[in-house]
Amino acid sequence: MRSKIFQKFNVLILLSLMTGTYGQTPATLFPVKRTESAETWRRGGWQAVDRAKAQKIRKGKAKNVILFIGDGMGVSTLTAARIFEGQTRGESGEENRLSFEEFPFSALSKTYGTNQQTSDSAPTMSAIISGVKTDEGVISVNQNVQHANYKTVSGNETKTLLEYAEEAGKSTGVVTTARLTHATPAACYSHSPDRDWESDNDVFTRRMDAYEAKFPDIARQMLEIPYGDGLEVAMGGGRTKFLPKNIQDPEYSTRSGERLDERDLTREWQSKYKNSAFVWNKKQFDAIDAKKTTHLLGLFEPSHMQYEHDRAKDTAGEPSLSDMTSKAIDVLSNNKKGYFLMVEGGRIDHAHHDGNAFRALTDTVALSDAVRATVKKVNLDETLIIVTADHSHTFFIQGYPARGNNILGFVREIDNDGMVEEMPKGDRDKKPFTTLGYANGLGARGAERPALTEEMVLDPNYKQEANIPMSAETHGGEDVAIFATGVNAYLIRGSMEENWIFYVMADAMRLGRK
């Protein structure tokens, strides 16, 4: 049996490699002091049953609908992020729950598209926001549209919940940590045969016939929504898509816009709407008086916003996802008819593509924080909140690590004496491996695995090992989770087609049924 002195020494060494603060690497916590007993597990189980029986079922019409999308937030991401968040607080982590895991209703969502088993954000978000599944690479159009063929779009657009809400006189908003013209936010307000036509320069580069025909790019469509008075709130990244080529970026002297039509869409936003505002840094954002602002545009980066872990180091400062969500709700709440708001944690997906679990998990926790802040602000008797993902990733949790083992670290198992092993579990060559990894991606190391150290794998920039070498990790095709609370949330249940989410939201707002 291992000595208690060695165990303490082992933990102290590991602790010295970690920071133990939120947004950074959590402390290694084993061996865990277990306080549960058979009685506490029984008591907790009966309490869960009693809570479920007492759960209030809210039925009727929802004044507001708020949709949260964790882009690429598969079930393995939820599990790892739950543990990660708990460990940053000094807990073992497994018993933790993300804010939306406390929601009373949940389901599984089938994310396939009309022409692919494993989809990307364009068809999946189009299904969620318009109720119609579609082909890969297209935005809020049906499967009759040929990819990148602008001539096939007319008559095949699929009307979105945001457009229905605008038509009904409600306010609408889109908040994301990605570019505002990226697939998930774009699906809310635009219709395009190619998700990559974010600016007219993109159309010019990718499809000359569409450019010559002046087919509207996604950024332009955001300003030209034909329903209601257009978006009341739009916040995220992507300044280059809205600024002309001859305009220098306000934050970076080496960057400029990319639009070829010489239109400055940020100025057009301000001139189009009374009491409107455009902001691009944290100071301007903080100065916005939500009660006096009818239309708010925030573009905080030339491309995507910073990852949550890197946000504090941003040149001009960026609001958090929670900050943007709260401000959006304050602006949208000026409309007594209610509102629809979509909030995306867009960079969860990007971190996974990069093979970097640390940033994927910190951005997942940031999304959970935004949901928690929202629940505190709104009245659930008149609001429906749904949290889901558009698709998953090839992200996995492996081995048999001890409870409380650092979710980012090496696998350490329990020995036959019930004690944590002194050394990490090894592969056939006795080399240690981490709990988290990817089926494919940038972390593939070739035929022979390298000799990894604890310091290497706990670095926030570490790319987890992958099985198949790829230039970027791919999406996964398994079901993702849906969580719901508020008005008509009870309709989220069982195994659902992804597009059914639209009908739950539309029914709650009494929109879209012919």
At residue 58, the pLDDT reads 97
Task: Decide if pLDDT at 34 tops 90.
Answer: no
Q: What's the pLDDT tens digit per position in 378-419?
A: 999 999 999 999 999 999 999 999 999 999 999 999 999 989
At residue 61, the pLDDT reads 97
How many Å apart are CA 167 and CA 10, to the nearest integer? 63
Contacts with 447 (C-beta within 8 Å, 6 or more apart), sequence order: none
Report the percent of the chain where pLDDT is more than 70: 93
- Whose CA is closest to 182, among 115, 232, 226, 120? 120
- Tell me the helices (H) and strands (E) count for the chain, helix number first: 16, 15
At residue 31, the pLDDT reads 52
Give the pair of three-digit tokens for residue 434.
Answer: 């981490």
At residue 446, the pLDDT reads 82
SS3 state at 404: coil
Task: Decide if pLDDT at 18 tops 80.
Answer: no
How many Å apart are CA 422 and CA 263, to the nearest integer? 64
* Active-site entry in 121, 190, 192, 320: 121
Provide the 8-state DSSP code for 380. T
Q: Which residue has the tokens 């809570």?
A: 51
At residue 320, the pLDDT reads 98
Sort 272 into a burial class: Cβ within 10 Å, 0-12 / 13-18 / 19+: middle
CB of 304 closer than 8 Å to CB of 237: yes
How many Å apart are CA 3 and CA 72, to the nearest integer? 43
pLDDT bin (cut points 50, 70, 90) of residue 30 is low
How many Å apart are CA 410 and CA 208, to the nearest integer? 51
In the annotation, is 76 catalytic? no
Considering the chain, what is the average pLDDT of its residues?
93
CB of 394 closer than 8 Å to CB of 439: yes
At residue 35, the pLDDT reads 80
Q: Half-sphere exposure of residue 114, counting CA atoms within 13 Å on the CB side?
A: 19
Superfamily classification of domain 64-394+474-509:
Alkaline Phosphatase, subunit A (3.40.720.10)
User: Which H or E element spans position 163?
Assistant: helix 161-167
Contacts with 171 (C-beta within 8 Å, 6 or more apart), sequence order: 165, 232, 233, 331, 332, 334, 335, 337, 338, 339, 340
Q: What's the pLDDT tens digit per position in 102-113?
A: 999 999 999 999
**How many other C-beta atoms are found inside a 10 Å radius of the C-beta of residue 214?**
12
CB of 320 closer than 8 Å to CB of 23: no
How many Å apart are CA 13 and CA 196, to the nearest integer? 48
Give the pair of three-digit tokens for residue 270.
Answer: 């301000």
- Strand ranges for 55-170 from DSSP E: 64-70, 105-110
Task: Decide if pLDDT at 9 tops 50.
Answer: no
pTM summary value = 0.95
pLDDT bin (cut points 50, 70, 90) of residue 33 is low
At residue 510, the pLDDT reads 98
The sheet with strand 466-469 has its strands ordered as 395-397, 436-441, 466-469
- Ordered by start, the domain boundaries in the chain are 64-394+474-509
Task: Produce one character per residue of 140-163: b if its CB has 16 or more CB atoms within 10 Å, e if not.
Answer: bbbbebeebebebbeebbbbbbbb
